[in-house]
Amino acid sequence: MNNQPIGVFDSGVGGLTIVPHLMKRLPQERLIYFGDTARTPYGSKALSTIKKFTEEIVEFLLEKKVKMIAIACNTVTSSCLEDLQNKYPDVPIVGVIEPAVKKVLYRAKSNARIGVIGTKVTIENKAYSSVIKKQNNNLTVYEKACPIFVPLIEEGLIDSEITDLAVQHYLQEFNKVKPIDYLVLGCTHYPLIKKSIFKTLPNVEIINPSEEMVYGIEEALQRHDLLAEQSKMENIIYASDLSPNITNMIRHLFTEKVRIGVKNFDLLVEESPHF
């Protein structure tokens, strides 16, 4: 048993979508969350930049004595998970992709058509399709990068006509050109715009990695004998920029008291030759 908190992080507010599922499944656990709201989105950044930001956040969470780390970001999971697990072998580190793939393989019939949406990095890495096809080659997987979704969500445009139009623009091909049976929300921000997604794809079953990730966290806690008995610690939410959007989301998601903090990282700007 271990009553230390779970460390959870994301490039912004999207990772908070796992919180209701985590609190319902593991109510005795407490967490320290970090959202890199000052530097979001990650999905269009260089890999070296993503890795630098990620290591800074992991070091920060370890300073806070977390017992494990959950990467609630598909971009980071697809590009950094293995490196982080190798660098920090004594700390359980889990990503968001594997639990979602398990749900896809459990739900989908042998000839099902799967749509996957995510950031440019997640889609370019084929983070979902490569794993799905490796385990069931009979499934058809269509992938689509939706880079505008995260900025819209981070701006708080969750229930708006602009978001409806953006979703329609990116996803309408899944109705006609590439009809699908399931849609994987390959970014933890995307559950926040499920209403808009359903308007464009009303007959598609949605696979929500934010919900499935809780099972990956629970399995890791059990395997390493880290489940809490009953923690008296408070949940703590850190952000690199405490915008009104993240404070509003915290109020929406947390029914109990939560501490909020700001952690800014110094950005090193290196000059490069003209090209």
Looking at the annotation, which residues are catalytic? 73, 187
Contacts of 247 (CB under 8 A, 6+ apart): 260
Buried b (16+ CB within 10 A) or exposed e, 102-140: ebbeeebeeebbbbbbbbbbbbebebbbebbeeebeebb
The answer, yes or no, to whether the previous bond of 191 is cis (omega within 30 of 0) is no
Contacts of 19 (CB under 8 A, 6+ apart): 8, 31, 33, 253, 254
Tell me whether residue 259 is exposed, middle or buried, using C-beta atoms within 10 angstroms of its C-beta: 0 to 12, 13 to 18, 19 or more.
Answer: exposed
User: Number of C-alpha atoms within 13 angstroms, CB side, residue 42?
Assistant: 34
Give the CA-trace dihedral at 61, 63, 68, 69, to 10 degrees. Answer: 20
**Contact predicate 19/254, CB 8 Å:** yes
Contacts of 78 (CB under 8 A, 6+ apart): 95, 97, 121, 122, 125, 127
